[in-house]
Structure 1
Amino acid sequence: MHQRLDEIQQLLDTLGKSHPDEVGAFVNFMGKAEAGPALSLKQKELVNVALSVAAQCEWCIALHVKNALNAGASRDELVEAGFLAVLMHGGPALMYLTPLLDAVNEFSTGATPN
């Protein structure tokens, strides 16, 4: 899963050089969308984890599981968020709990989950 995080950074670096306006707009939008005060950072990242599983995006799963752990999410909270994605997305989302568990296991070292 660390490789997925590296691939995200490589993609943003590459596209940032060739398409700086588009990448900049996306990064700006992401910052604005995540800046609202109603949800805690942990809650936002748990939502992002569920959406990542439903969207079947291994890169997103890696990024948001790591961020959720860093924000204090527990393994149980992450798996529960994954099951909510399965509820809404069905069997294909269930299979994407595999990279979710891989990310939780890989990134849990050094994290401080609740």
Structure 2
Amino acid sequence: MENYRFKDYENDGLTFLMSSRKDVVKSYQNMLNKLGTHLNEKTRELIVLALQVTTQQPEAISILIPKALKAGATADEIIDAVTLAIPNVGLTGVLKLLPIILDELRKYDEMVKPEN
């Protein structure tokens, strides 16, 4: 840390880690890619999304929604996966993230089906 100035922290955390600890990030990504290999991609992404709801991190949800959609999940399947977390995080935990989830679904829909 002695080699860093405070301006180095203006980047988001991942950008900072990629520049200062690239080997750690690459190892983490390699590990993630080896998890759930017996599942099809859509199922895997839906499970990861449901698990991520328990962490209450909106940034992660914003990354995972497009991944699930690209893997073939429908909006209804995403909502179902998210609501499976209610017993773990409570209804308010899901309701807190629902606006972000719906916004990501809307953005993806607009990107795939642009208005003429």
TM over 0.5: yes
How many residues are paired up?
Answer: 100
Q: What is residue 20 of structure 1 aligned with on the other side?
A: 22
Runs of 4+ displaced beyond 4 Å: none
Aligned partner of 2:70 in structure 1 is: 70
Q: Equivalent residue of 1:67, what SS?
A: helix
Letter in 1 for 2:32: M
Q: Take 1:102 and 1:53, find their aligned partners in 2: how far apart are those partners?
A: 15
Q: Please show how residues 39-78 of structure 1 align to structure 2 within 5 Å.
A: 39-78=39-78
Shift of 1:93: 2.7
**Secondary structure, counterpart of 1:55 in structure 2:** coil
Q: Identify the residue that residue 97 of structure 2 maps to in structure 1.
A: 96
Question: What amino acid maps onto 1:17 in structure 2?
Answer: S
Q: Bigger relative contact order, structure 1 or 2, given CA contacts below 8 A and separation 6+?
A: 1
Report what 2:6 is aligned to: none
Query: Closer, same or farther in 2 for the Cα pair 1:11/1:108, shift >3 Å?
Result: farther
TM-score between both structures, scaled by the size of structure 2: 0.76
Deviation (angstroms), 1:84: 0.6
Superposed displacement of residue 14, structure 1: 2.6
Q: Which residue of 1 aligns with 2:85?
A: 85
Gaps of 5+ in 1: 1-9
Identity of aligned residues (%): 31
Gaps of 5+ in 2: 1-11
Residues in 2 aligned to 1:77 and 1:68: alpha-carbon distance in whole angstroms: 9
